[in-house]
Amino acid sequence: MKLETLAIHAGREPDPATGALREPIHLATTFERGADGSYPHGYFYSRSGNPNRTALERAVAALEGGHEAVAFASGSAATLAVFTLAAAGGRVVCSSDCYHGTAKQLREILPRWGGAAEFVDTTDLDAVRRALEPGATLLWVETPSNPLLRVSDIAGLTEFAHERGALLGCDNTFASPVLQQPFALGADLVMHSTTKYLGGHSDVLGGIVVVREASAELEGLRHFQGAGGGVPSPFDCWLLLRSLPTLPLRVRQQSANALAVARFLAADPRVERVHYPGLEQHPGHALAARQMRGGYGAVVSFQVSGGAAEALAVTSRVRLFTRATSLGGVESLIEHRASMEGPLSQTPPNLVRMSVGLENVDDLVADLGQALGG
């Protein structure tokens, strides 16, 4: 089936008890046991499994073309679950430009579990090859990356990782399965912060990991999900399932809006640099054009002439964009990224990150124009 069809039908069917087209929210924490001691419906306690979570996991696995998915209470919980696979002597090689929360986990939590991490520019294949040599367990890549929108070659990185016995995990949050299919390029694990595009309405927190095939890694993720307990609530799962049918429509239109916004910014002399792979001058444009389909995502970062003070001033003058972190919702957001990340941020101090929404793009461009004008 095509992705648009899967987005509507995967993981769901009419309620067998009532015929309702939308699945009920199963708020029960525990499930009845049979007289013979069995669990005839397949569930016994909601931390270990719940019908809403099962439906969500099946739907996202289908959208990514994977074998099975494991849902968590946040994107950070999902990445941490993956990194447990590299604990006790393992080593993770990670994109140097990545979500600051991911870097924090690798620097502060993984070493406590006996693992180690190295950060490398994953757009530089020679640098990655060298970093993988001393026995890496996992190569973790964000593409496009957060917040500089760098594009890494998933197929090439997978080949390097597999040659050295490592797994390739891909954070596909910025692209979503609509624009990028990492399993088709060889990846072993795909992760999403479901808070973002899969949720799409800024009203649900979650994360999910999809595995390419049945494996020891899947068993490890399932064990961490149940034993660690960082699971999404039934209502959160229901909200995510509600959002998936419109995912292709939302992401494609947001991407089209983002490209128009990026082109406007690239032509403005008050802007020092625009980071967006849909622009032909972006160093990763040709790779993105091969690796992605139907768009380049809806996150645009740009550096303002005049330094950090002017970047903050631009965000203070917007009228339509909302000053807030996160991304993927239907509304457009803007933030001065370095001040949000804190004192250890490596983000350029004059960088502004935007999540472009579904408003009329002319209105978005007009708002940025007046904000840049002072």
First-to-final CA distance of the chain: 50
**Active-site residue, selected from the candidate residues 53, 91, 150, 196:** 196
Dihedral-angle region of residue 98 (phi above 0 means left; psi in -120 to 50 means alpha; beta otherwise):
beta
**Active-site residue, selected from the candidate residues 171, 188, 236, 367:** 171
Task: Mark whether 15 is an active-site residue.
Answer: no
Task: Mark whether 99 is an active-site residue.
Answer: yes
**Active-site residue, selected from the candidate residues 43, 99, 276, 296:** 99
The encoded tokens of residue 104 equal 């924090």
**Active-site residue, selected from the candidate residues 12, 47, 270, 293:** 47
Residue 332 CA neighbour count, 13 Å, CB half: 28
Judge if the upstream peptide bond of residue 177 is cis by omega within 30 degrees of 0.
no
Task: Mark whether 47 is an active-site residue.
Answer: yes
d(CA 335, CA 146): 13
By annotation, the residues acting in catalysis are 47, 99, 171, 196
